[in-house]
């Protein structure tokens, strides 16, 4: 069994180190402003507040598999993804990885950690492929919230929504079957990606994410292909019987 430290991380030397390929300072009204204005927590925020949020931002590039931050690191900044994907994960006590979410371009990562009293990241972040992103300063976010009540309300709304979604997710995971979880997951990907679905996680990571055994997930995919519910096309999937998956996933739909 792999030993882990107090933050759930394997000891030094058992994982790839934190690698930053390049970084450049972003000054004034530079690139993050248009992207920042479209990010969910900051939609509708006034331009002067956006400029305050972007103060001190730095642009970074990471290669596939680079760690961006570790669980337990001091949380001085949060991320705004410009291109590529960032996955957040945590090591279980046995040293196994569990991926909690994959962030796409235009999404912010770890803004909730900027308000945590312990001041540390609660998870790890890693690039799935080549990634371009901005690091936005914690102090700039806190200054914007202190000086602009509307900005603070935006953040409360966004964080409350995220909390609500996580409560629903925990309820769903603890009360649903493996097939119901997989159906709901695939339909969620279909709504964002279209008819051709590319899984953002490996099959092992997906099984962990859904709270099921990898063997169970493999059997489900094989059975659904044989029955004509889904079809695999090289590295992608297609839903052939959406009505069947909708019926399985219907308990996950909330009325508000």
Kindly report, residue by residue over 90-125, the tens digit of the pLDDT: 988 777 888 999 999 999 999 999 999 999 999 999
- Is 220 found in the same domain as 146? no
| Residue 166 scores a pLDDT above 80 | yes
97: three-class secondary structure by DSSP: strand
Of 1-5, 111-115, 130-134, 210-214, which range is least confident? 1-5
Q: What percent of the chain has pLDDT over 90?
A: 73
Choose the final residue of a domain: 93, 126, 154: 154
Q: Is residue 160 part of a domain?
A: no
What is the Cα–Cα distance from 222 to 120, expressed in whole angstroms? 42
Task: State pLDDT tens for residues 203-227.
Answer: 999 998 899 999 999 999 999 999 9
Q: Is residue 161 part of a domain?
A: no
Report the candidate in 42, 22, 23, 24 with the shortest Cα–Cα distance to residue 33: 42
Q: Is residue 167 part of a domain?
A: no
CATH code (residue 212): 1.10.10.10
Pairing of strands 97-103, 77-83: unpaired
| Residue 16 scores a pLDDT above 90 | no
- Is 205 found in the same domain as 123? no
- Is 137 found in the same domain as 34? yes
Would you put residue 119 in left (φ > 0), alpha (ψ -120 to 50) or beta? left
| Residue 181 scores a pLDDT above 70 | yes
Report the candidate in 73, 159, 200, 180 with the shortest Cα–Cα distance to residue 124: 73
pLDDT at 150: 92
What DSSP line would sit under 151-204, residue for residue?
Answer: HHHHHHHHHHHHHHHHHHHHHHHHHS-HHHHHHHHHHHHHHHH-SEE--SS-HH
- Is 243 found in the same domain as 195? yes
User: Where in the sequence is the domain holding 185, given as residue range(s)?
Assistant: 173-251
- Is 230 found in the same domain as 131? no
- Is 197 found in the same domain as 116? no
Q: Is residue 164 part of a domain?
A: no
- Is 189 found in the same domain as 128? no
Q: Is residue 223 part of a domain?
A: yes
Task: State pLDDT tens for residues 71-86.
Answer: 999 999 999 999 999 9
Q: Is residue 49 part of a domain?
A: yes
What is the Cα–Cα distance from 80 to 78, expressed in whole angstroms? 7
Q: What is the average pLDDT across 180-209?
A: 93
What burial class does residue 256 get, using C-beta atoms within 10 Å of its C-beta: 0-12 exposed, 13-18 middle, 19+ buried?
exposed
Choose the final residue of a domain: 126, 154, 182: 154
Distances (CA, A) of 203 to 1, 198, 210: 22, 12, 10
Report the candidate in 154, 82, 166, 84 with the shortest Cα–Cα distance to residue 123: 166
Report the candidate in 69, 114, 75 with the shortest Cα–Cα distance to residue 89: 69
- Is 180 found in the same domain as 150? no
| Residue 131 scores a pLDDT above 70 | yes
CB 241 within 8 A of CB 229: yes
Q: What is the average pLDDT across 58-63?
A: 94
| Residue 45 scores a pLDDT above 60 | yes
- Is 85 found in the same domain as 35? yes
| Residue 9 scores a pLDDT above 60 | no
Choose the final residue of a domain: 154, 181, 206: 154
CATH code (residue 126): 2.60.120.10
Domain total of the chain: 2
Q: How confident is the model at residue 15 (pLDDT cuts 50, 70, 90)?
A: very low
- Is 120 found in the same domain as 32? yes
- Is 200 found in the same domain as 125? no
Q: Is residue 179 part of a domain?
A: yes
pLDDT at 160: 95
What is the Cα–Cα distance from 135 to 125, expressed in whole angstroms? 13
Tokens of 154: 């935006």
Q: Is residue 127 part of a domain?
A: yes
- Is 227 found in the same domain as 141? no
Q: How confident is the model at residue 256 (pLDDT cuts 50, 70, 90)?
A: confident
């Amino acid at each position: 069994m792999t030993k882990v430290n107090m933050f759930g991380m394997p000891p030094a030397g058992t994982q790839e180190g934190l690698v930053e390929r390049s970084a450049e300072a972003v000054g004034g009204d530079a690139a993050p402003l248009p992207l920042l204005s479209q990010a969910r927590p900051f939609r509708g925020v006034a331009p002067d507040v956006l400029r305050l949020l972007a103060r001190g931002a730095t642009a970074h590039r990471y290669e596939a598999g680079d760690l961006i931050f570790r669980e337990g690191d001091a949380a001085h900044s949060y991320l705004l993804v410009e291109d590529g994907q960032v996955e957040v994960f945590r090591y279980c006590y046995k040293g196994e990885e569990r991926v909690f979410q994959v962030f796409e371009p235009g999404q912010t990562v770890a803004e909730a950690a900027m308000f945590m009293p312990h001041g540390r990241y609660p998870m790890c972040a890693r690039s799935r492929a080549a990634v371009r992103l901005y690091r936005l300063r914690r102090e700039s976010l806190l200054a914007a919230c202190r000086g602009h009540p509307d900005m603070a309300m935006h953040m409360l709304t966004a964080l409350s929504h995220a909390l609500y979604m996580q409560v629903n997710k925990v309820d769903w995971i603890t009360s649903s079957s493996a097939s119901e979880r997989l159906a709901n997951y695939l339909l969620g990907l279909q709504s964002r990606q279209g008819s051709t679905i590319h899984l953002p996680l490996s099959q092992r990571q997906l099984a962990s994410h859904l709270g099921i055994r990898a063997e169970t997930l493999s059997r489900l995919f094989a059975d659904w292909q044989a029955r004509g519910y889904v079809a695999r096309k090289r590295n992608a999937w297609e839903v052939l019987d959406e009505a069947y998956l909708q019926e399985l996933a219907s308990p996950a739909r909330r009325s508000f």
